């Protein structure tokens, strides 16, 4: 019987009745106007290589990455570039987007894909393909995968590839669905990136409740190992499903415990999500950029939450409408998880590479505008996985004091989720950390 590993303190079991269930994917309608942002990654915006009035093909390069942190951007629909749109996020970050009016025939949609062999390609060629097709971390801030690989190459350490099949947040349902529907692509993508970074071991970190997924992984791994004659050691590690087990810090804690118990040398951990592996597979085997995104749509203002396969550039408004519409005007739109996502300005924000979920929330679920006071209940201290005192930090930051200890905060949102006074505890602390105020 396998041992289950969990981080030592804090966290909580997160459930959300407004998240879509783990069901089949619906294909979203193609956008009549695709809004393709030139920033879908951590660095500078991609430089546009097409002009207003120019016609583009599906999958064509329309923005070239500029330096570290930047990634190539591709047209997700065929058509005419009609204008450049510009806006600022709620945090004041500027973005530009090319707006493509869809028309003409598709190059890939509904067509049989050409499959390219990868077994004999050297690591540098695999990295080139991953960079060419603009692959970034799809479940995080959008850091280009090639930048991560370059950093790993510089340090020349023993590397373990960690595939995060940890579903401690119901808003990771899109990743879980990818595991259900594209497990072969996920596993093969893992073998591809392991070769690209010359990993010595592959570890699947899987929530212990996902018994069917564990069986599917093991069967698929065995089939592909035989097919491609892959000898890289591989293991499945069962981890807890208490939030924030998915976070890099908490996941590394349990894997170091596994390393100690099993006397397995893991070295440096390179963590990656199933959705990113699926995109890596498509880039290397199909020479295909990221055209679609699996995205969960829901929230208390949404009539029928669903998981969609949507084209990059589709407006959130259109996806909410395909869920039956909204029950009332939302008080807040959130991109990502309600615990650690970011607020959107309006319903016209487009789906990007990193959009794994989008929520429309009613006033009752965001605390409204009523000013409340801390009741000193201690719930935030009990759930903090880093052992901080969120109540004290929040009060100090609000009063203008400084507290270096808060730099340990990684913005998981546990404290804010359990606060009975609905105080923006995590938001305030983590924002202060990012702004270097403490």
Q: What is the pLDDT of residue 437?
A: 47
Which is the CATH superfamily of the domain at 4-15+112-285? NADH-ubiquinone oxidoreductase 51kDa subunit (3.40.50.11540)
The whole-number average pLDDT for the span 206-230 is 94
Q: What residues contact 229, with CB distance under 8 A and at least 6 apart?
A: 119
Q: What is the pLDDT of residue 1?
A: 56
Q: Contact, 135 vs 144, CB < 8 A?
A: yes
Percent of the chain's residues with pLDDT above 70:
95
Alpha helices in 69-144 (DSSP H): 123-132
Residue 32 has pLDDT above 90, yes or no: yes
Q: Contact, 286 vs 113, CB < 8 A?
A: yes
Lookup result for tokens 């069901």 = 23
Q: Where are the domains of the chain?
A: 4-15+112-285, 379-434
Nearest CA to 90 among 332, 314, 410, 326? 332
Q: Average pLDDT over the chain, rounded to whole?
A: 92
The whole-number average pLDDT for the span 392-411 is 76
Structure tokens at 250: 């908490």
Q: Which of 142-146, 179-183, 408-412 has the lowest mean pLDDT?
A: 408-412
Q: What is the DSSP letter of 33?
A: E
Q: What is the pLDDT of residue 263?
A: 86
Q: What is the pLDDT of residue 438?
A: 43
Residue 436 has pLDDT above 60, yes or no: no
Q: What is the pLDDT of residue 57?
A: 97
Structure tokens at 37: 């942002």
Q: Contact, 163 vs 203, CB < 8 A?
A: yes
Residue 56 has pLDDT above 80, yes or no: yes
Radius of gyration of the chain (CA): 22
Q: What is the DSSP track for 320-339?
A: HHTTT-BSS--SEEEES-TT
The answer to whether the Cα torsion of 212, 213, 218, 221 is positive or negative is positive
Q: In which band, very low, low, confident or very high, does the pLDDT at 346 lie, cut at 50, 70 and 90?
A: confident
Residue 362 has pLDDT above 70, yes or no: yes
Residue 405 has pLDDT above 70, yes or no: no
Nearest CA to 120 among 197, 223, 221, 192? 192
Residue 13 has pLDDT above 90, yes or no: yes
Peptide bond into 325 cis (omega under 30): no
115-150 pLDDT tens trace: 999 999 999 999 999 999 999 999 878 999 999 999
Q: What is the pLDDT of residue 289?
A: 98
Q: What is the pLDDT of residue 403?
A: 56
Q: In which band, very low, low, confident or very high, does the pLDDT at 71 lie, cut at 50, 70 and 90?
A: very high
How far apart (Å, rounded) are the C-alpha atoms in residues 170 and 293? 17
How far apart (Å, rounded) are the C-alpha atoms in residues 225 and 121? 17
How far apart (Å, rounded) are the C-alpha atoms in residues 75 and 77? 6
Q: What is the DSSP track for 225-272?
A: HHHHT----EEEEEE--SBTTTSHHHHHHHHHHHHHHHT----EEEEE
3-state SS, residue 11:
coil
Q: In which band, very low, low, confident or very high, does the pLDDT at 431 lie, cut at 50, 70 and 90?
A: confident
Q: Contact, 66 vs 44, CB < 8 A?
A: yes
How far apart (Å, rounded) are the C-alpha atoms in residues 3 and 262? 10
Residue 404 has pLDDT above 60, yes or no: no
Element (H, E) at 26: strand 26-27
Q: What is the pLDDT of residue 94?
A: 85
CA–CA–CA angle 121, 126, 131 (5° rounding): 155
280-321 pLDDT tens trace: 999 999 999 999 999 999 999 999 999 999 999 999 999 999
Residue 61 has pLDDT above 80, yes or no: yes
Query: Strands 201-207, 159-165: parallel, antiparallel or unpaired by DSSP?
Result: parallel
Q: Please, what's the b/e burial string for 238-250 (b: 16 or more CB within 10 A of its CB; e: otherwise)?
A: bbbbbbbbbbeeb
**307 phi and psi, to 5 degrees?**
-110, 125
Q: What is the pLDDT of residue 240?
A: 94
233-263 pLDDT tens trace: 999 999 999 999 999 999 999 999 999 999 8
Q: What is the pLDDT of residue 370?
A: 54
Element (H, E) at 433: helix 425-434
Q: How far is CA 23 from the centre of its chain?
A: 19
The whole-number average pLDDT for the span 93-105 is 93
The whole-number average pLDDT for the span 215-235 is 93
Nearest CA to 176 among 216, 141, 136? 216
How far apart (Å, rounded) are the C-alpha atoms in residues 60 and 58? 6
Structure tokens at 89: 């996020």
Q: Contact, 155 vs 268, CB < 8 A?
A: yes
């Amino acid at each position: 019987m396998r041992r289950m590993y969990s981080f030592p303190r804090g966290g909580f079991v997160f459930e959300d009745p407004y998240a879509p269930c783990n069901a089949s994917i619906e294909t979203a309608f193609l956008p009549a106007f695709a809004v393709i942002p030139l920033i879908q990654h951590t660095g500078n915006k991609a430089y546009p290589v097409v002009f207003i009035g120019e016609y583009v093909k599906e999958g064509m390069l329309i923005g070239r990455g500029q330096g570290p942190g930047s990634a190539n951007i591709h047209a997700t629909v065929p058509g005419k570039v009609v204008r450049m749109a510009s806006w600022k996020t709620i945090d004041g970050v500027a973005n530009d987007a090319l707006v493509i009016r869809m028309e003409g025939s598709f190059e890939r949609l509904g067509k049989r894909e050409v499959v390219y062999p990868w077994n004999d390609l050297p690591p540098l060629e695999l990295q080139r393909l991953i960079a060419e097709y603009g692959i970034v971390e799809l479940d995080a801030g959008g850091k280009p995968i090639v930048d991560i690989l370059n950093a790993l190459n510089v340090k020349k350490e023993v590397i373990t590839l960690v595939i995060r099949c940890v579903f401690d947040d119901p808003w990771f349902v899109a990743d879980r669905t990818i595991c259900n529907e594209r497990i072969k692509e996920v596993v093969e993508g893992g073998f591809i990136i392991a070769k690209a970074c010359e990993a010595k071991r592959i570890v699947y970190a899987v929530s212990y409740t996902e018994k069917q997924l564990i069986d599917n992984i093991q069967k698929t791994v065995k089939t592909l190992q035989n097919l491609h004659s892959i000898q890289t050691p591989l293991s499945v590690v069962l981890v807890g499903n208490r939030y924030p087990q998915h976070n890099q810090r908490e996941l590394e804690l349990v894997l170091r415990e596994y390393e100690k118990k099993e006397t397995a040398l893991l070295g440096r951990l390179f963590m990656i999500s199933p959705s990113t592996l699926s995109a890596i597979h498509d880039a290397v085997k199909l020479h295909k950029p990221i055209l679609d995104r699996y995205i969960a749509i829901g929230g208390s203002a949404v009539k029928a939450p669903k998981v969609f396969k949507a084209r990059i550039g589709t407006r959130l408004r259109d996806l909410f409408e395909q869920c039956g519409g909204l029950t009332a005007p939302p008080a807040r739109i959130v991109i990502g998880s309600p615990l650690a996502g970011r607020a959107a300005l309006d319903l016209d924000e487009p789906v990007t590479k990193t959009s794994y979920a989008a929520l429309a929330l009613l006033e009752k679920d965001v605390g409204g505008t009523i000013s409340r006071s801390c009741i000193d209940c201690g719930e935030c201290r009990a759930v903090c996985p880093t052992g901080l005192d969120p109540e004290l930090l929040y009060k100090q930051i609000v009063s203008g004091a400084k507290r270096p200890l808060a730099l340990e905060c990684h913005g998981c949102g546990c404290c804010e989720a359990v606060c009975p006074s609905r105080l923006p505890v995590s938001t305030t602390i983590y924002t202060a950390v990012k702004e270097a105020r403490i």
